[in-house]
C-alpha cells in the first residue's frame, strides 16, 4: 500500500516529524511519500498527475484539502487531519498560561459547536464569552489573507486578547508581523487515527469497488446535568455500551468508526458492504442494539458518494431529516437528491412502548429521558414506587434540593403524587413521601 502526505514546508517539527514517527513505528508496511508545499494553493499542481500512484492521500491541513477539492477531480482516497477538541484545550491552556483573557479570543476554521462544547467542559457559560470565529471560504485562493485580516482587525480594535489559528500559512504571517497567536496543531493521536482510517478505507475500496458510505450516528444524551451529575457512573456506562455497539457494527461492514464527542460517531465503509448488512436498507440493527441498552433517541444519517467528503455531506443532510422527527430513526441520502427512511423491525414495537411513555413523561415534566430512566431503575431496585424525597436523592446521587425540584416537576406533570410526610429524628423538616407513576 502507498500513501502520500501533502504538508507545508513550515512547522516541520509538528507535521513531518509526527507523521514520520507514526508511520515508522506503527505503519511500517505502508510505503510513504511526503509532498511539500510553501503555499497551500500549490497542492493541486503537486498531485495533479500523480493521484493514481497512491492508495490514499492525506492532507495535513483543511485549507489545502478544500482548495485542491475545488481544483481537481478526486481519483483516489483523500483525507485531511480533522479539527479535534484536544487541540482547542491545549491552545486554551497555553493562552491561559500566557495571561490572555481566554473569554476574549479569535479563532479560525473551527465549528461554533466545537468551541462552545470546549468552553462548557472548562466550566464557562457561553453567555459570558466574547469569542470571534472567522467564517471564510476555505476554497478561496485568498483565504489565508482573509483570515489574517480578520484576526489583525480584531486585535487592533482591542476586541480580543489573542488569536488561535489552525492554518500554518496564517501562523507564519502572524509570527512575521509580531501578532500574538497560538497555533492549534493536531495531536499525534489525530495523525495516528487518520492514517489508520485511510488504511482501512483503502482496503475496503480494494475489496469492494462501490461508492463510499458515511454514517453519522447521534445519540440525544441528557442535558439536565444540573440535576444529574455529568460524571454520573450510569451515564458513563451508557456511553461505553454505545461505543461498543458502534464499533461492533463498524466491524460488520468492515468499516472504520470514530467518536466525535461524548454522543456522536462516524462510520465509514462502502455502500456495497452497508447494503449487504442492511438487506438493502430494509433494517438497521445498530439502532435496535443501542435502544435496548440506552434510553435515548438515536438518529442515523447515511450518505454515499465517490469521495468521503461528498458522502459525509449527504450523511449530514440525512441526519438533519432524522433529528427533525424527534424519535429514533435512520435516513439514507443519495447524491441525486433522493432518499428513504430505513424501516424499523416490527418485532421491537412492544419493547419501544415503555420508551415512548418515558419520552412523553420527559416532555411533560421538562426532565430528560435519562432522568426518567434512572428513576425507573430506582423503582426497580427498591421494588416499590413509593419512597421519600431523601431516598430519591440518595438513589440518584443528587442533593435534597435537586430531588425536591425533580419531584415538583413530576407532580406538576401528573407523574407523581405526595402521599405523606416522614419526620426523621426530633429535629429537621419532614421529608415528603412520594408515589411515582412510571411504567417499567
- Whether residues 376 and 332 share a domain: the answer is no
- Whether residues 221 and 265 share a domain: the answer is yes
Instruction: Give the separation between CA 347 and CA 392, rounded to whole angstroms.
Output: 34
State the burial class of residue 214 (Cβ atoms within 10 Å of its Cβ: 0-12, 13-18, 19+).
buried
Q: How confident is the model at residue 157 (pLDDT cuts 50, 70, 90)?
A: very high
Q: What is the domain-level CATH number for residue 243? A: 3.30.70.270
Model pLDDT, residue 429: 61
Q: How confident is the model over 22-48, as pLDDT tens digits?
A: 999 999 999 999 999 988 889 999 999
Is residue 197 in a domain? no
Model pLDDT, residue 88: 86
Q: What is the domain-level CATH number for residue 402? A: 1.10.10
DSSP per-residue string spanning 181-240: EEE-PPPHHHHHHHHHHHHHHHHHHHH--S-EEEEEEEE-----TTTS-TT-HHHHHHHH
- C-alpha grid cell for residue 222? 441528557
Asked which of 344, 360, 395 is the last residue of a domain, the reply is 344
| CA neighbor of 344 nearest in space, from 325, 366, 359, 371 | 325
- C-alpha grid cell for residue 75? 481519483
- Domain range for 10 is 1-81
Q: How confident is the model over 160-198, as pLDDT tens digits?
A: 999 999 888 898 899 999 999 999 888 888 888 888 878
Asked which of 33, 50, 81 is the last residue of a domain, the reply is 81
- Whether residues 381 and 398 share a domain: the answer is yes
- Whether residues 234 and 255 share a domain: the answer is yes
Model pLDDT, residue 274: 85
Q: How confident is the model at residue 327 (pLDDT cuts 50, 70, 90)?
A: confident
Provide the number of structural domains found in the chain: 4
Instruction: Give the separation between CA 96 and CA 122, rounded to whole angstroms.
Output: 12
Model pLDDT, residue 221: 66
- Whether residues 101 and 165 share a domain: the answer is yes
Q: How confident is the model at residue 345 (pLDDT cuts 50, 70, 90)?
A: very low
Model confidence, pTM: 0.51
- Whether residues 241 and 331 share a domain: the answer is yes
DSSP lists the bridge partners of residue 407 as none
What is the side-by-side strand order in the sheet with 431-436? Answer: 386-388, 431-436, 416-422
Is residue 376 in a domain? yes
| CA neighbor of 106 nearest in space, from 174, 49, 51, 39 | 174
- C-alpha grid cell for residue 65? 484539502
Instruction: Give the separation between CA 83 and CA 140, rounded to whole angstroms.
Output: 19
The answer to whether 278 and 342 are in contact (CB under 8 A) is yes
| CA neighbor of 359 nearest in space, from 264, 227, 232, 220 | 220
Amino acid at each position: 500500500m502507498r500513501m502520500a502526505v501533502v504538508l507545508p514546508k513550515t512547522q516541520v517539527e509538528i507535521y513531518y516529524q509526527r507523521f514520520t514517527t507514526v508511520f515508522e513505528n506503527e505503519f511500517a508496511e505502508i510505503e510513504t511519500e511526503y509532498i511539500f508545499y510553501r503555499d497551500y494553493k500549490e497542492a493541486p499542481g503537486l498531485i495533479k498527475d500523480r493521484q493514481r500512484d497512491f492508495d490514499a492521500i492525506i492532507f495535513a491541513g483543511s485549507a489545502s484539502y478544500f482548495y485542491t477539492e475545488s481544483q481537481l477531480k478526486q481519483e483516489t482516497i483523500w483525507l485531511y487531519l480533522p479539527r479535534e477538541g484536544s487541540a482547542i484545550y491545549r491552545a486554551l491552556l497555553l493562552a491561559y498560561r500566557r495571561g490572555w483573557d481566554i473569554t476574549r479570543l479569535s479563532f479560525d476554521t473551527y465549528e461554533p459547536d466545537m468551541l462552545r462544547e470546549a468552553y462548557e467542559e472548562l466550566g464557562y457559560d457561553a453567555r459570558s464569552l466574547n469569542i470571534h470565529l472567522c467564517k471564510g471560504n476555505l476554497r478561496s485562493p485568498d483565504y489565508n489573507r482573509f483570515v489574517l485580516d480578520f484576526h489583525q482587525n480584531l486585535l487592533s480594535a482591542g476586541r480580543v486578547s489573542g488569536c488561535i489559528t489552525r492554518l500554518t500559512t496564517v501562523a507564519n504571517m502572524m509570527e512575521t508581523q509580531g501578532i500574538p497567536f497560538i497555533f492549534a496543531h493536531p495531536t499525534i493521536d489525530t495523525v495516528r487515527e487518520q492514517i489508520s482510517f485511510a488504511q482501512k478505507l483503502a482496503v475496503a475500496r480494494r475489496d469492494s469497488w462501490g461508492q463510499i458510505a458515511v454514517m453519522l450516528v447521534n445519540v440525544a444524551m441528557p442535558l439536565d446535568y444540573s440535576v444529574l451529575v455529568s460524571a454520573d457512573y450510569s451515564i458513563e456506562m451508557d456511553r461505553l455500551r454505545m461505543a461498543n455497539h458502534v464499533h461492533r457494527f463498524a466491524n460488520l461492514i468492515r468499516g472504520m468508526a470514530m467518536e466525535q464527542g461524548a454522543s456522536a460517531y462516524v462510520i465509514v465503509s462502502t455502500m456495497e458492504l452497508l447494503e449487504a448488512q442492511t438487506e438493502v436498507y430494509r433494517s438497521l440493527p445498530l439502532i435496535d442494539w443501542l435502544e435496548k441498552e440506552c434510553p435515548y433517541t438515536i438518529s442515523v444519517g447515511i450518505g454515499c458518494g465517490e469521495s468521503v467528503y461528498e458522502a459525509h455531506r449527504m450523511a449530514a443532510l440525512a441526519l438533519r431529516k432524522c433529528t427533525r422527527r424527534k424519535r429514533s430513526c435512520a435516513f439514507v441520502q443519495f447524491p441525486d437528491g433522493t432518499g428513504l427512511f430505513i424501516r424499523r423491525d416490527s418485532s421491537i414495537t412492544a419493547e419501544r412502548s415503555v420508551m415512548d411513555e418515558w419520552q412523553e413523561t420527559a416532555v411533560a415534566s421538562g426532565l430528560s429521558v435519562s432522568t426518567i430512566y434512572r428513576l425507573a431503575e430506582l423503582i426497580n431496585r427498591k421494588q416499590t414506587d413509593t419512597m421519600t424525597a431523601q431516598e430519591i436523592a440518595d438513589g440518584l446521587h443528587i442533593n435534597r434540593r435537586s430531588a425536591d425540584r425533580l419531584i415538583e416537576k413530576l407532580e406538576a406533570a401528573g407523574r407523581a403524587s405526595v402521599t405523606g410526610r416522614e419526620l426523621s429524628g426530633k429535629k429537621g423538616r419532614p421529608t415528603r413521601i412520594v408515589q411515582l407513576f412510571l411504567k417499567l
